[in-house]
């Protein structure tokens, strides 16, 4: 059985051990793993807003949602 990832520091240890470990985990989950290629329709409240490559959405939850909100606001502005 595998054990949880642990960090083995060789040579001089730094003062930012925890930070390094956290960064490694984030780097691992955000930059590796299976990526589903494809396209999706994003809709808010039943109205289709965007037709984008799925990779765009995979980049980041926050970024994707922020982009979505900005697009929605821009679309509303144009309608006025």
Partner 1 sequence: MLLLYCVTESVADAHIPGVHGSPVSTIAEGGVLCHSSEWSERNKDDAQQDALAYWSVVNRLFQQTAVIPFRFPTFMKDQAAMQEFLALNAQGFLSELRRLRDLVQMRITIPSEPTSNAAPPTSGTEFLKQRQKSSRVSQDTIAALRASGEDLVREWKQSHRTGSTLLFALIGRGALEDLKSRISQIEASANVRVSGPWPPSEFIKCELELPMSTETTL
**Cα dihedral sign, 31-32-37-43:** negative
Binding of residue 73 to partner 1 (CB under 8 A): no
Interacting residue with partner 1 among 16, 28, 53, 73 (CB under 8 A):
28
Among candidate residues 24, 14, 54, 16, the one with its CA nearest the CA of residue 36: 54
27 touches partner 1 by CB under 8 A: yes
Options 16, 30, 70, 75; binder of partner 1; rule CB under 8 A: 30
What tokens were used for 36?
């589903």
Q: Which of 18, 32, 78, 80 binds partner 1 (CB under 8 A)?
A: 32
């Amino acid at each position: 059985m595998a054990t949880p990832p642990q960090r083995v520091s060789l040579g001089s240890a730094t003062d930012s051990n925890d930070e390094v470990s956290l960064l490694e985990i984030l780097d691992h989950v955000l930059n590796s793993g299976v990526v589903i290629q494809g396209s999706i329709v994003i809709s808010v409240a039943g109205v289709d807003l965007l037709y984008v490559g799925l990779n765009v959405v995979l980049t980041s939850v926050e970024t994707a949602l922020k982009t979505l909100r900005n697009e929605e606001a821009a679309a509303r502005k144009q309608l006025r």
